[in-house]
Amino acid sequence: MTYPEPRYFGETGEHSGTFHLTGREPDLSIGKGGTNVHYLATGGSTNGAYGLYRYEMGPKPSGPGPHFHRTMTESFYVLSGTIRLYNGEKWADGKPGDFLFLPEGGVHAFRNESGEPATMLILFTPGAPREAYFEELAEIAGTGRQLTPEEWTELYLRHDQYMV
Protein backbone atom coordinates (compact mmCIF):
# COMPACT_ATOMS: atom_id res chain seq x y z
CA MET A 1 0.00 0.00 0.00
CA THR A 2 1.25 3.48 -0.81
CA TYR A 3 0.18 7.00 0.08
CA PRO A 4 -2.51 8.46 -2.20
CA GLU A 5 -1.73 11.17 -4.72
CA PRO A 6 -1.20 14.63 -3.14
CA ARG A 7 -4.26 16.82 -2.73
CA TYR A 8 -2.45 19.88 -1.37
CA PHE A 9 0.37 21.53 -3.28
CA GLY A 10 1.27 24.54 -1.14
CA GLU A 11 4.74 24.89 0.38
CA THR A 12 4.03 26.22 3.87
CA GLY A 13 0.74 24.70 4.98
CA GLU A 14 -2.43 26.59 5.91
CA HIS A 15 -4.29 27.65 9.04
CA SER A 16 -7.50 25.86 8.07
CA GLY A 17 -8.51 23.57 10.94
CA THR A 18 -12.00 23.78 12.43
CA PHE A 19 -13.05 23.17 16.03
CA HIS A 20 -16.26 21.46 17.16
CA LEU A 21 -16.08 21.90 20.90
CA THR A 22 -18.15 19.97 23.42
CA GLY A 23 -21.35 21.62 24.55
CA ARG A 24 -22.60 22.91 21.23
CA GLU A 25 -26.16 22.17 20.18
CA PRO A 26 -26.72 19.13 17.93
CA ASP A 27 -27.05 19.77 14.22
CA LEU A 28 -30.10 17.53 14.04
CA SER A 29 -32.62 15.87 16.37
CA ILE A 30 -34.53 12.81 15.19
CA GLY A 31 -37.77 12.19 17.07
CA LYS A 32 -38.80 13.64 20.41
CA GLY A 33 -36.30 12.49 23.05
CA GLY A 34 -34.69 10.32 20.40
CA THR A 35 -31.38 10.76 18.63
CA ASN A 36 -29.19 13.86 18.41
CA VAL A 37 -26.67 14.05 15.58
CA HIS A 38 -23.57 16.24 15.61
CA TYR A 39 -21.99 16.67 12.17
CA LEU A 40 -18.33 16.76 13.21
CA ALA A 41 -17.18 16.52 9.61
CA THR A 42 -19.26 16.20 6.46
CA GLY A 43 -18.26 15.11 2.99
CA GLY A 44 -18.62 18.76 2.02
CA SER A 45 -16.28 20.00 4.75
CA THR A 46 -13.64 17.31 4.05
CA ASN A 47 -13.61 17.70 0.27
CA GLY A 48 -15.26 14.30 -0.06
CA ALA A 49 -12.67 12.43 2.02
CA TYR A 50 -14.97 11.24 4.84
CA GLY A 51 -17.88 12.07 7.10
CA LEU A 52 -17.82 11.81 10.91
CA TYR A 53 -20.86 12.16 13.17
CA ARG A 54 -21.36 11.92 16.91
CA TYR A 55 -24.61 9.96 17.21
CA GLU A 56 -26.34 10.35 20.60
CA MET A 57 -29.16 7.83 20.98
CA GLY A 58 -31.87 8.38 23.58
CA PRO A 59 -33.12 5.61 25.90
CA LYS A 60 -35.97 4.50 23.62
CA PRO A 61 -35.20 1.49 21.41
CA SER A 62 -33.99 2.79 18.05
CA GLY A 63 -31.72 2.06 15.12
CA PRO A 64 -31.93 0.75 11.55
CA GLY A 65 -32.48 -2.84 10.47
CA PRO A 66 -29.77 -4.77 8.60
CA HIS A 67 -28.62 -3.01 5.44
CA PHE A 68 -25.55 -2.30 3.31
CA HIS A 69 -24.09 0.51 1.20
CA ARG A 70 -22.61 0.18 -2.28
CA THR A 71 -20.57 3.40 -2.34
CA MET A 72 -19.04 3.78 1.10
CA THR A 73 -17.48 2.07 4.06
CA GLU A 74 -18.91 2.66 7.52
CA SER A 75 -17.37 2.42 10.98
CA PHE A 76 -18.87 2.64 14.46
CA TYR A 77 -16.99 3.47 17.67
CA VAL A 78 -18.96 3.28 20.92
CA LEU A 79 -18.29 6.21 23.27
CA SER A 80 -20.84 5.59 26.05
CA GLY A 81 -23.62 3.21 26.97
CA THR A 82 -24.38 -0.05 25.20
CA ILE A 83 -25.18 -0.22 21.49
CA ARG A 84 -26.09 -3.50 19.83
CA LEU A 85 -23.90 -3.84 16.74
CA TYR A 86 -24.53 -6.29 13.88
CA ASN A 87 -21.71 -7.33 11.56
CA GLY A 88 -23.88 -9.28 9.12
CA GLU A 89 -23.46 -12.55 11.02
CA LYS A 90 -24.14 -11.85 14.68
CA TRP A 91 -25.14 -9.16 17.15
CA ALA A 92 -22.79 -8.00 19.92
CA ASP A 93 -23.30 -5.57 22.78
CA GLY A 94 -20.93 -2.74 21.94
CA LYS A 95 -19.50 -1.02 25.02
CA PRO A 96 -17.28 2.08 25.22
CA GLY A 97 -14.15 1.47 23.17
CA ASP A 98 -15.70 -1.20 20.91
CA PHE A 99 -15.35 -0.68 17.16
CA LEU A 100 -17.04 -2.15 14.07
CA PHE A 101 -15.80 -1.59 10.49
CA LEU A 102 -17.82 -2.46 7.38
CA PRO A 103 -16.39 -2.31 3.86
CA GLU A 104 -18.63 -1.46 0.93
CA GLY A 105 -21.37 -4.11 0.74
CA GLY A 106 -20.92 -5.14 4.39
CA VAL A 107 -24.30 -5.95 5.95
CA HIS A 108 -24.71 -4.19 9.28
CA ALA A 109 -27.14 -2.66 11.75
CA PHE A 110 -27.12 -1.01 15.16
CA ARG A 111 -29.66 -0.54 17.92
CA ASN A 112 -29.90 0.97 21.35
CA GLU A 113 -32.04 -1.50 23.30
CA SER A 114 -30.50 -0.79 26.71
CA GLY A 115 -33.13 1.63 28.02
CA GLU A 116 -30.30 4.12 28.69
CA PRO A 117 -28.73 6.79 26.46
CA ALA A 118 -25.78 5.68 24.34
CA THR A 119 -23.35 7.55 22.09
CA MET A 120 -21.09 6.51 19.22
CA LEU A 121 -19.04 7.96 16.42
CA ILE A 122 -20.07 7.04 12.87
CA LEU A 123 -17.36 7.38 10.22
CA PHE A 124 -18.00 6.84 6.53
CA THR A 125 -15.64 7.01 3.57
CA PRO A 126 -15.69 8.59 1.13
CA GLY A 127 -17.66 11.58 2.36
CA ALA A 128 -21.13 10.93 0.96
CA PRO A 129 -23.90 13.50 1.54
CA ARG A 130 -25.45 11.49 4.41
CA GLU A 131 -26.85 14.61 6.10
CA ALA A 132 -29.76 14.59 3.65
CA TYR A 133 -30.69 11.04 4.70
CA PHE A 134 -30.72 11.81 8.41
CA GLU A 135 -32.53 15.11 7.85
CA GLU A 136 -35.22 13.30 5.89
CA LEU A 137 -35.60 10.77 8.72
CA ALA A 138 -35.95 13.66 11.19
CA GLU A 139 -38.64 15.27 9.04
CA ILE A 140 -40.58 11.99 8.86
CA ALA A 141 -40.32 11.46 12.62
CA GLY A 142 -41.19 15.09 13.37
CA THR A 143 -44.34 15.11 11.25
CA GLY A 144 -45.47 11.57 12.05
CA ARG A 145 -45.82 10.91 8.34
CA GLN A 146 -46.27 7.23 7.50
CA LEU A 147 -44.39 6.01 4.43
CA THR A 148 -45.54 3.15 2.27
CA PRO A 149 -43.08 0.29 1.66
CA GLU A 150 -42.52 1.72 -1.83
CA GLU A 151 -41.74 5.16 -0.41
CA TRP A 152 -39.24 3.65 2.07
CA THR A 153 -37.58 1.75 -0.78
CA GLU A 154 -37.29 4.93 -2.85
CA LEU A 155 -35.86 6.89 0.11
CA TYR A 156 -33.28 4.19 0.79
CA LEU A 157 -32.24 3.95 -2.87
CA ARG A 158 -31.67 7.73 -3.07
CA HIS A 159 -29.32 7.42 -0.08
CA ASP A 160 -27.33 4.28 -1.01
CA GLN A 161 -29.06 2.16 1.63
CA TYR A 162 -30.08 -1.38 0.70
CA MET A 163 -32.17 -3.17 3.29
CA VAL A 164 -31.74 -6.94 3.66
Q: How confident is the model at residue 31 (pLDDT cuts 50, 70, 90)?
A: confident
pLDDT for the residue numbered 125: 97
What are the sequence ranges of the domains in the chain? 28-163
Q: What residues are paired with 108 via a beta bridge?
A: 67
In tens, the pLDDT along 89-123 reads 999 999 999 999 999 999 999 999 999 999 999 99
Q: How confident is the model at residue 32 (pLDDT cuts 50, 70, 90)?
A: confident
Phi, psi of 132 (to 5 degrees): -60, -35
Instruction: Look up the pTM and report it.
Output: 0.93
The second-level CATH assignment, the architecture, of 28-163 is Sandwich (2.60)
What lies within 8 Å, CB to CB, of 59 at 6+ separation is 33, 112, 114, 115, 116, 117
Task: Quote the CA–CA distance of 73 and 40 in Å, as a whole number.
Answer: 17
